[in-house]
Amino acid sequence: MKSTLAAVALSAALVAPTAVFAASYTIDETHAHAAFRVSHLGFSHTLGQFKEISGTLEFDQADPAASSVSVTINTASVDSANEARDEHLRKADFFNVEEFPTMTFTSTAVEVTGENTGKLTGDLTLLGVTKPVTLDVTFNQEGPHPFDPSKIVAGFSASGEINRTDFGMAYAAPAIGETVELMIEVEARKD
């Protein structure tokens, strides 16, 4: 579910100070990481990510509030580095991928908080439930790709958290943590 938030990191572009006009970007799926961290029985934290993230970003520097981001994450692509656990995560106790094969994030607002930072708010839909989520976003940089200068790339980092039980994912709570930390890294290519 955090991966879905990870795609949201692209929204960080909404606060990018280097853009001169509205531009469209497409998330580079090979350089998009939506990771999560959740307490496991209080003994340790389980880490994971979603491997399949796609989405688009519209950025308008003159009016960041008019910018938008839309992200889709394939819930079956969850990866916690343990196949048995991943199979359980795909079942009805957690992501229920047969009934809900994707989770989505659609931005609703951007608040600029610094030269390269902002708060991105949007609607996260997980397990058929839609709730608002706010991420802290940092615009890293934008410019020609070093290996192919014909491509313009923008990069963003984002973090936040959600309460999984708000989306109906209550299995083993609170022994398995209710709060899920999100860490998102995204590169997006200018269309």
Domains in the chain (CATH in brackets) are: 2-190 (2.40.128.110)
pTM across the whole model: 0.86
Mean pLDDT of 72-91: 98
pLDDT bin (cut points 50, 70, 90) of residue 1 is very low
* Cα–Cα distance, 7 to 73 (Å, whole number): 8
Nearest CA-CA partner of 161 in 5, 20, 40, 42 = 5
The residues pairing with 159 across neighbouring beta strands, listed in sequence order, are: 136, 183
pLDDT bin (cut points 50, 70, 90) of residue 58 is confident
**What is the pLDDT, as a whole number, of residue 62?**
67
CA distances from 11 to 45, 90, 169, 170, 171 (A): 27, 27, 26, 29, 31
Residues 6+ apart with CB under 8 A from 56: 24, 25, 26, 27, 69, 70
pLDDT bin (cut points 50, 70, 90) of residue 115 is confident
pLDDT bin (cut points 50, 70, 90) of residue 116 is confident
Q: What is the mean pLDDT of the chain?
A: 89
**What is the pLDDT, as a whole number, of residue 135?**
97
Query: Burial of 154 by CB count in 10 Å (0-12 exposed, 13-18 middle, 19+ buried)?
Result: buried
Check if the beta carbon of residue 184 is closer than 8 Å to that of residue 35: yes
- Is the pLDDT higher at 5 or at 142? 142
**What is the pLDDT, as a whole number, of residue 27?**
97
Nearest CA-CA partner of 174 in 37, 1, 42, 2 = 42
DSSP, collapsed to helix, strand or coil, labels residue 99 as coil
Mean pLDDT of 138-159: 93
Mean pLDDT of 99-118: 93
Which tens digits make up the pLDDT trace of 3-50?
A: 433 334 444 444 444 444 678 999 999 999 999 999 999 999 999 999
Sequence letter at residue 185: E
Check if the beta carbon of residue 39 is closer than 8 Å to that of residue 77: no
